[in-house]
Structure 1
Amino acid sequence: MLQNRVDPFGNLITTKARGKWLGNRGQLHGTGKTILRPFKHKAWISCELVFKGRRRVIMSPNLWTELFFLDEATALAAGHRPCFECRRIAANLFKAAWLKGNPEYGFNLKTKIGAIDKILHRERIDEQGKKVTFQATLKDLPTGTFISIDNEAYLVVNDLIYQWSPFGYAAGKQIALSTVVKVLTPKSIMNALKSGYQPQLSLIT
């Protein structure tokens, strides 16, 4: 097994579970298949598993490292956004929702995605490489947001929370909507969810 699955904290983990999306942070491995760094550049993206018939050998030398996510909500929590090549429609929808949800930056549709990537990078990891989180009241969080309770990741869907695992989600449970929780999804991405971006969820409710 390879260390190429991503959890909602943004960690690269080893698991037999398969993912629905491909991810890219640049070349993280060396000539072998061992992860040497958590990222190479600030453009963290989520991609289609299959695109234009392209085939890749996982962790080939001198190429970017293939990462995988349970679902798009997991990718967003880790700080990945949709790719503008293989997921152009989703990427445009995400950018529009991000701009609507984060007007304080003064960006518009002509703003290069790299400017948004710089903000996302500040929101996902700090200078010590640790996950950035923030506090919020559960009732204020949109569907698709991830929170952390006792170091476990939970997906927020309407009034319920679902514990994450690499293989899927546990049954939903309810906690008080007034509860102040630790949010894993970067703040500006959470604002994009509030503004209408609807991520894919591997969840049966």
Structure 2
Amino acid sequence: MLQNRVDPWGNIIRTPARGAWMGNRGLLHDEHKNIRRAFKLKAWITCVLAFKERRRTVMLPNRYTELFFLDEATAFAAGHRPCFECRRQDAIRFRSCWVQGNPQYALPEKVAFPVIDNILHAERINKAGEKILHEDSAGDLPDGCFILWQQQPCLVAGDWVYPWTPAGYLPGLPRPVSGQVTVLTPASVVNAFQAGYTPQMALQPSAL
């Protein structure tokens, strides 16, 4: 079992559960397919599983490390954003919402993605390599964000929060509606969700 699945904290874990999206942070593994670093690039991207009939053997030597996510909301919580090559329309839509939701940076609508990547990188991990968390108002968070609730990462969706597991979400818990909560999703991504970008979430249709 390879260590190539990503949780909402951004950790790369081992699990038999499969993912719905692929990701990339650069070359992270050695010749024995063991993870040796958490990232190599500041561009942490989320990709589709199939693109232009390309076929890859996972964790080939000297090639980027294929990472996998339960859903897009998990990928965003971990600090990833849509790939401009295989998900161009999603990437353009995310960039537009990101710029609109983060006017404090005074960036043009077609800002280069490396500029956004630098900001995201400063939001997702500190100099010690630890995930950066932030506080926000419980009632103001948009769907698709992850919060820390009852000591576990939970997806916010409607009136509920859903505890995350590698194989899927547990039954929903009533969403906190007041006070501050700890948020895993980077702050500028939360703002992009507020501005209109809704990530894919692996919830049953009845839960939406």
**TM-score, normalisation: structure 1:** 0.98
Alpha-carbon distance in 1 for matches of 2:135, 2:183: 6
1:176–1:152 Cα change, 3 Å = closer
Question: 3-state DSSP class of the match of 1:96?
Answer: helix
Question: 3-state DSSP class of the match of 1:147?
Answer: strand
1:20 aligns with 2:20: yes
Where in structure 2 are the equivalents of 1:1-205 lying within 5 Å? 1-204=1-204, 205=207
Residue deviations 1:49-88, cap 9 Å, x none? Answer: 0000000000000000000000000000000000000000
Q: 2:4–2:68: 8 Å Cα contact kept in structure 1?
A: yes
Q: How many residues align?
A: 205
Query: Which amino acid counterpart does residue 174 of structure 1 have in structure 2?
Result: P
**TM-score, normalisation: structure 2:** 0.97
Identity of aligned residues (%): 54
Alpha-carbon distance in 1 for matches of 2:164, 2:134: 19
Alpha-carbon distance in 1 for matches of 2:157, 2:6: 20
Alpha-carbon distance in 2 for matches of 1:186, 1:34: 27
**Residue 92 of structure 1, CA deviation:** 0.5
Alpha-carbon distance in 2 for matches of 1:101, 1:149: 25
Query: Which amino acid counterpart does residue 26 of structure 2 have in structure 1?
Result: G
**Residue 29 of structure 1, CA deviation:** 0.4
**Residue 198 of structure 1, CA deviation:** 1.1
Residue deviations 1:20-43, cap 9 Å, x none? Answer: 000000000011200000000100
Q: Which residues of structure 1 form unaligned runs of 5+?
A: none
Alpha-carbon distance in 2 for matches of 1:173, 1:167: 18
Query: Which amino acid counterpart does residue 140 of structure 2 have in structure 1?
Result: D
Question: 3-state DSSP class of the match of 1:181?
Answer: strand
Q: 2:156–2:175: 8 Å Cα contact kept in structure 1?
A: no
**Residue 136 of structure 1, CA deviation:** 1.1
Q: Which residues of structure 2 form unaligned runs of 5+?
A: none
Question: 3-state DSSP class of the match of 1:104?
Answer: helix
Query: Which amino acid counterpart does residue 98 of structure 2 have in structure 1?
Result: W
Alpha-carbon distance in 1 for matches of 2:141, 2:196: 13
Residue deviations 1:138-195, cap 9 Å, x none? Answer: 1010000001124411000012100000010011110430032100000000000000
Q: 2:101–2:194: 8 Å Cα contact kept in structure 1?
A: yes
Question: 3-state DSSP class of the match of 2:173?
Answer: coil
**Residue 137 of structure 1, CA deviation:** 1.7
**Residue 14 of structure 1, CA deviation:** 0.3
